[in-house]
A and B are shown apart, each in its own frame.
Chain A
Amino acid sequence: MRAYFKLNFEILYWVLIAPFLGKPFKITSVLHEMINIGVQAIPMASLTAFSIGLTLAMQGAHELAHLGATSYTPNLVIVTLLRELGPLLIGTVVIGRSGSAVTAELGTMKVSEEILALQVMAINPVRFLVVPRFLAMLIMLPVLTVFGNYVGMLGGWSICHFALDMNTTAYITRLIDNAQPMDLYSGVIKSFVFAWLIITISCQAGLEVEGGAEGVGKSTTNSVVTSILAMLIANALLTGFFFFFE
Chain B
Amino acid sequence: MSETPIIEVTNLVRKFGTHTVLNGITFKIEKGDVMIIMGGSGCGKSTLLAHIIGGAKPTSGSIKLFGEEITTMTDDQLAKHRLRFGMLFQSGALLQSLTVGQNVALPLIENSHVAPEIVDLVVKMKLELVGLTGFENLKPAEISGGMKKRVGLARALAMDPELLLSDEPTAGLDPIMTAVVDKLTLDLTRKLGLTAMIVTHDMTSAFRVGTKMIMLGGAGPKQGTIIAQGTPDEIRNCKDPEVQQFINGEPDGPVALKLSKSDYLSSLLHEPEL
Interface set of A (CB-CB < 8 Å, partner B): 108-109, 112-114, 116-124, 128
Contacts and interface: CB of A to CB of B under 8 A. Distances in A.
Contacts of B110: 121-123, 128
A5 B205 CA distance: 47
Contacts of B261: none
B87 interface: yes
Contact of A114 (B53, B75, B90, B94): B94
Contacts of A124: 75, 79
A113 B55 CA distance: 11
B79 A117 contact: no
Interface string B150-187: 00000100010000000000000000000000000000
B93 A122 contact: no
17 contacts: A109-B95, A112-B91, A113-B91, A114-B93, A114-B94, A114-B95, A116-B93, A117-B89, A117-B94, A118-B95, A120-B87, A121-B111, A122-B83, A122-B110, A123-B111, A124-B79, A128-B110
B24 interface: no
B82 interface: yes
Contacts of B79: 122, 124
Interface size on B, as a range, is 20 to 34
Q: Is chain A's binding surface mostly helix, strand, loop or mixed?
A: helix
B255 to A, nearest CB: 27
Contacts of A119: 55, 82
A112 B148 CA distance: 13
A122 B96 contact: no
Contacts of B95: 109, 114, 117-118
Contacts of A117: 87, 89, 93-95
Contact of B93 (A112, A123, A128): A112
Contacts of B87: 117, 120
Contacts of A109: 95-96
B183 to A, nearest CB: 24
B80 interface: yes
A30 B55 CA distance: 28
A123 B107 contact: yes
A128 B98 CA distance: 13
Contacts of B93: 112-114, 116-117
A108 B80 CA distance: 27
A18 B157 CA distance: 27
